[in-house]
Amino acid sequence: MGLERRTTNPRPPPERITDVARPVAETFAPRIEVVPSPPTDAPPALVAILLHGGTPRSHATAARWRLTYLRVRWLGGALGRLVTAGDVALWRLRYRYRGWNPPALPAVGDAHWAVRESARRHPGAPVVLIGHSMGARAALRAAGMPQVTAVCALAPWLPDGEPVAGLRGRRVLVAHGDRDRMTDPRGSRLYARRAAARGVDIRYMSVTGDGHAMLRRPGVWHRLVADFVETERAITGLRRPAPRAEPPAPLRRQVTRPGSAGYATCASVETISAMRSIASRTSVYPLYSGANPSRIRSGVR
pLDDT computed for residue 63 by the predictor: 65
State how far the Cα of 143 lies from the Cα of 164, in Å rounded to an integer: 9
Please state the rounded mean pLDDT for residues 104-123: 94
Please state the rounded mean pLDDT for residues 70-79: 87
Please state the rounded mean pLDDT for residues 236-241: 64
**Percent of the chain with pLDDT strictly greater than 70:** 68
| Chain mean pLDDT for the chain | 75
pLDDT computed for residue 239 by the predictor: 60
With 0.75 as the threshold, say if the pTM is over it: no
Please state the rounded mean pLDDT for residues 21-50: 72
At residue 71 the predicted structure's pLDDT band, cuts being 50, 70 and 90, is: confident
pLDDT computed for residue 82 by the predictor: 86
State how far the Cα of 203 lies from the Cα of 231, in Å rounded to an integer: 14
Domain limits of the chain?
31-241+264-295
* Greater model confidence, 164 or 69: 164
Please state the rounded mean pLDDT for residues 283-294: 37
Please state the rounded mean pLDDT for residues 67-73: 81
**Helix 67-82 to helix 218-239 angle, to the nearest 10 degrees?**
60
150-155 long-range Cβ contacts below 8 angstroms, 24+ apart: 150/126, 150/228, 150/232, 152/128, 152/225, 152/228, 152/229, 153/188, 154/130, 154/214, 154/221, 154/225, 155/180, 155/182, 155/183, 155/212, 155/214
Please state the rounded mean pLDDT for residues 35-64: 81
Looking at the DSSP bridge assignments, the partners of residue 129 are 49, 151
CATH 1.10.290.10 corresponds to the domain 31-241+264-295:
no
Please state the rounded mean pLDDT for residues 66-89: 84
Which residues, 6 or more positions from 298, have their beta carbon under 8 angstroms from its beta carbon?
none
CB count, 10 Å around CB of 108? 18
